[in-house]
């Protein structure tokens, strides 16, 4: 009942049950905290209890969750400790059995050297010699390794332990190492990108801070200039602030008037908009708009393209008669003159060609007939 004042009486059974449950939870929390801080050097036993102003439902809920998580972690650690202790005891027992078997084999070998009859113990020696032989073989291999080989074996074993590979081979470890190297390169690339973004943000932040400082300085200069102008006007002077230039960040004085005029224009246009819409609808009803479709537009486009191609053909044909006079008779006369000139040029070409052929052709000598 810690959530209620000491002098308050409880008459409701539900409130009494809730108070009892809360008191039980706080008692559990106090016991748990006392067990946690038992070994601490606290001046008094009240140091392990929450202060009165912290004894509320939210703190109780958080402490209960923390106590449950702590107990679960303690149980997990105890289970792990028991498993490790059992594994260690098993390993020790196996080591003790191996040592006993080694001693017995050494004793049997000693008896063989001394010439004793050990025929009955030959089977036991063969059965006991397997694990010892494997252990001795591994020890011999490990001891016969070179320094570089032992370092490579240790590195391979440590890498397998770090990667969590139960049966390591050079191929598996190499693939794992290549995968980790690729992830490392990706992380380095991501770090470079984040660093680039951070530098860009720092640069933009510095520019924004510089701009803000300029704005503040401009406002301060404007206020100072206005105060100086006011003082000079009162004193009858010519204005000592004329030398300082006006701030480029100061709003123009005509901006409020422009804003007001624009607002009035928008309001007047908005008031005329319904009338204009009504006029448009009435015109649509009286005049009527053609019901165009996509097929009509496509047909008109194809007809336009056909006319355009015909126009290009006619332009080509008309271009051949460029330079002729507009009169038909004069054009025919000029055409006949051009044809006569063409015939004359053709005849001259043929005559020149014949003379060229005659000049370039070799002269054939006549052969006299032989007289027998």
pLDDT value, residue 207: 93
pLDDT value, residue 306: 94
Q: Is the pLDDT of residue 156 over 60?
A: yes
| Count of residues in the chain | 372
Across the range 362-366, mean pLDDT stands at 58
Torsion on CA atoms 158, 159, 162, 163, rounded to nearest 10: -150
Across the range 243-252, mean pLDDT stands at 55
- Roughly how many angstroms between the first and final C-alpha of the chain, as a whole number? 167
pLDDT value, residue 226: 64
Q: Is the pLDDT of residue 304 over 50?
A: yes
pLDDT value, residue 37: 79
Flag whether the pTM goes above 0.85. no
Q: Is the pLDDT of residue 94 over 60?
A: yes
HSE of 36 in the Cβ direction (CA atoms, 13 Å)? 15
Mean pLDDT of the chain: 78
Instruction: Tokens 């370092």: give the residue.
Output: 151
Q: What are the distances in angstroms from CA 294 to CA 114, 290, 299, 301? A: 117, 13, 9, 11
pLDDT class of 237 with cuts at 50, 70, 90:
very low
Q: What's the Rg (C-alpha) of the chain? A: 56
At how many degrees (to 10) do helices 13-36 and 57-114 cross? 40
Handedness of CA 17, 18, 20, 21 (dihedral sign): positive
pLDDT value, residue 239: 45
pLDDT value, residue 347: 93
Q: Is the pLDDT of residue 118 over 50?
A: no
Q: Is the pLDDT of residue 242 over 50?
A: no
Instruction: Tokens 């303690």: give the residue.
Output: 74
Helix (H, G, I), strand (E, B) or coil at 50: coil
266 or 54: which leads in pLDDT: 266
In angstroms, rounded to a whole number, what is the distance separating the alpha carbons of residues 81 and 98? 25
Q: Which two tokens stand for residue 271?
A: 């008031």
Across the range 107-130, mean pLDDT stands at 59
Q: Is the pLDDT of residue 31 over 50?
A: yes
pLDDT value, residue 130: 64
144 or 60: which leads in pLDDT: 60
In angstroms, rounded to a whole number, what is the distance separating the alpha carbons of residues 105 and 124? 9
Max mean pLDDT among 117-126, 181-190, 272-281 falls in 181-190
Please state, for a pLDDT cut of 90, what percent of the chain lies above it. Answer: 21
Across the range 134-161, mean pLDDT stands at 79
Scored b (16 or more CB within 10 A) or e, 237-270 reads eeeebeeeeebeeeeeeeeeeeeeeeeeeeeeee
Q: Is the pLDDT of residue 300 over 80?
A: yes
């Amino acid at each position: 009942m810690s959530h209620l004042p000491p002098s308050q009486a409880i008459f409701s059974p539900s409130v009494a049950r809730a108070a009892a449950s809360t008191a039980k939870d706080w008692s559990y929390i106090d016991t748990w905290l006392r067990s946690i801080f038992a070994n601490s050097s606290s001046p008094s036993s009240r140091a392990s209890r929450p202060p009165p102003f912290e004894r509320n439902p939210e703190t109780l809920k958080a402490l209960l969750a923390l106590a449950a998580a702590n107990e679960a972690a303690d149980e997990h650690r105890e289970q792990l400790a028991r498993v490790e202790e059992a594994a260690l005891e098993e390993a020790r027992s196996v080591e003790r059995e191996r040592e006993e078997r080694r001693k017995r084999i050494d004793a049997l070998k000693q008896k063989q050297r001394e010439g004793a009859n050990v025929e009955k113990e030959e089977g036991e020696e063969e059965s006991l010699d397997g694990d010892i032989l494997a252990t001795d073989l591994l020890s011999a291999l490990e001891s016969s390794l070179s320094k570089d080989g032992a370092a490579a074996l240790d590195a391979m074993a440590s890498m397998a332990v770090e990667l969590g590979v139960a049966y390591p081979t050079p191929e598996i470890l190499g693939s794992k190492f290549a995968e980790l190297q690729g992830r490392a390169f990706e992380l380095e690339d991501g770090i470079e990108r984040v660093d680039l973004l951070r530098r860009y943000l720092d640069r933009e932040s510095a520019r924004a801070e510089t701009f803000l400082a300029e704005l503040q300085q401009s406002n301060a200069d404007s206020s100072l200039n206005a105060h100086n102008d006011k003082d000079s006007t009162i004193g009858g002077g010519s204005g000592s602030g004329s030398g300082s230039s006006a701030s480029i960040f100061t709003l123009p004085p005509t901006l409020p008037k422009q804003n007001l005029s624009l607002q009035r224009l928008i309001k007047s246009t908005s008031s005329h908009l319904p009338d204009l819409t009504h006029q448009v609808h009435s015109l649509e009803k009286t005049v009527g708009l053609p019901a165009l479709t996509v097929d009509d537009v496509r047909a008109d486009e194809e007809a336009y393209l056909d006319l355009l191609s015909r126009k290009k053909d006619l332009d080509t044909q008309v271009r051949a008669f460029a330079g002729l006079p507009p009169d038909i008779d004069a054009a025919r006369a000029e055409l006949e003159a051009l044809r006569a000139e063409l015939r004359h040029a053709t005849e001259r070409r043929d005559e020149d060609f014949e003379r060229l052929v005659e000049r370039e052709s070799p002269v054939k000598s006549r052969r006299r007939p032989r007289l027998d």
